[in-house]
Amino acid sequence: MQIGITAKQAGISRQTLQYYLMIGLLEPTEVTATGRRLFDHAAVERIRLIRKLNQSGYPLRAIRELFLEGKFDSKGVDS
């Protein structure tokens, strides 16, 4: 899915998704030869998890650290 469709399915704005990409919370599933960033359904679930954690009080930096440390997989399951 393209970035706009992904953002819509995840319930966030396109700009928020671009910010998540910029700060390293998310990476595209695929980048086409023309540079388009594409995402799969697992990315949508990860975005939903990021949003849920952020709304419950976790700062984005802490969420990023949780993912980097492997505390959660892309589905949000505690590893």
User: What span, in angstroms and rounded, lies between the C-alpha atoms of 46 and 75?
Assistant: 6
Site of tokens 């393209």: 2
Q: pTM value? A: 0.84
How big is the CA angle at 11 (ends 77 and 32), to the nearest 5 degrees?
80
What's the pLDDT band for 79 if we cut at 50, 70, 90? very low
What's the pLDDT band for 70 if we cut at 50, 70, 90? confident
Beta bridge partners of 72: 78
Positive/negative CA dihedral, 33, 39, 65, 11: positive
What's the pLDDT band for 67 if we cut at 50, 70, 90? confident
Q: What is residue 30's three-state secondary structure?
A: strand
